[in-house]
A = this chain, B = another copy of it.
Amino acid sequence: MSAPLPAIRALPSWLLGRAAARGRALVAEALAAEGMKMWHHVVLSAVADLGPVAQAELGRSIGLDPKDLVGVLNDLQTSGLVVRAPDPGDRRKNAVSLTAEGERVLRSCETAALEANDVLMAPLSASEREQFMGLLIRISGTDG
């Protein structure tokens, strides 16, 4: 259709950026209906998976800067979705936990995010999606 841009289109980094931008936009739009941002959802999900967890470990597990994590947690705590409790075993740490409301909102976010990802992956068949995810995990540097 549009003029081909062979040089730049042949770069995986370029295509990854475009695809990620598309995915981000779709998910952001879906989460906006819940009044949530991408990182709010991610942090909420990580807290649910890790249980009561210190902020530093939380940030490391999702690759979020501690500085930004403070802001996200402030928002989530103000909204009553998480609580920060002092860790009696290590007074430097805050044990972050989900509230019941947090669990509820998390489920809404997960539904919205899944639907958005379905739109994102629509061009691919089920087996292709699985294939794609397998390759993507190895590229993302999320493991190891």
Contacts and interface: CB of A to CB of B under 8 A. Distances in A.
B23 A61 contact: no
A7 B2 CA distance: 37
A29 to B, nearest CB: 11
A16 B13 contact: no
A110 B7 contact: yes
Q: Is the interface of A mostly helix, strand, loop or mixed?
A: helix
User: For the side of the interface on A, what is the size category?
Assistant: 35 or more
Nearest to A17: B20
Contact of A20 (B1, B3, B16, B124): B16
A138 interface: yes
Interface of A: 1-9, 11-24, 26-27, 42, 45-46, 48-50, 60-63, 110, 113-114, 116-117, 120-121, 123-124, 128-129, 131-133, 135-144
Given A16-B19, A135-B128, A50 B3 contact: yes
Contacts of A9: 137, 142
A39 to B, nearest CB: 11
Given A16-B16, A16-B19, A24-B17, A8 B132 contact: no
Contacts of A113: 11, 13
